[in-house]
Amino acid sequence: MLYFKKDVIYVWNAEVLNVGNMPEKKYRYFFHWVRQTNKWSVHFQKKCTHATYLECQVPCESKNNKRQPYRVMQGFATSVEVINDKIIIK
């Protein structure tokens, strides 16, 4: 059972945790190359983003699909940013 009060979370029968020290939640992402548009397609939190350049700052792994796109790269990230036609996965 959790109790919320300002910047501190009180956990019943456990130690007090500081909100500032809690890790950010990570979400599943995947990306693939779109040949028709010559751009990368990144899917993160139910949103699809297209850009020419891609920078991935977190670990990723390959995945085979039975339908197109057949080969995608996937992993877990805290955020995806678009800056000047470049997608940065953090």
Q: Could you give the C-alpha distances from 62 to 29, 57, 59, 69, in angstroms and in order? A: 12, 16, 11, 12
pLDDT of residue 9: 45
Domain ranges of the chain: 22-89
pLDDT of residue 88: 94
63 close to 27: Cβ distance less than 8 angstroms: no
Mark the ranges of the chain whose per-residue pLDDT is less than 50. 1-18
pLDDT of residue 20: 58
pLDDT of residue 60: 92
Both tokens of 37, joined, read 């548009």
The pTM (predicted TM-score) of the whole model is 0.74
